[in-house]
Amino acid sequence: MFILGFVTSDESERKGFMERQQEVATPRLLLRIPEAAKALGLGRTKIYELIAAGELPVIHVGRAVRVSVTALQKWVEEQDHQQMSA
- C-alpha 45, offset from chain centre: 16
| Total-model pTM | 0.67
Confidence check: pLDDT of 21 > 70: no
pLDDT given at position 35? 96
Distance in angstroms (rounded) separating the CA atoms of residues 79 and 27: 24
User: 43 CB contacts (<8 Å, ≥6 apart)?
Assistant: 37
Distance in angstroms (rounded) separating the CA atoms of residues 76 and 72: 6
Mean pLDDT of the chain: 84
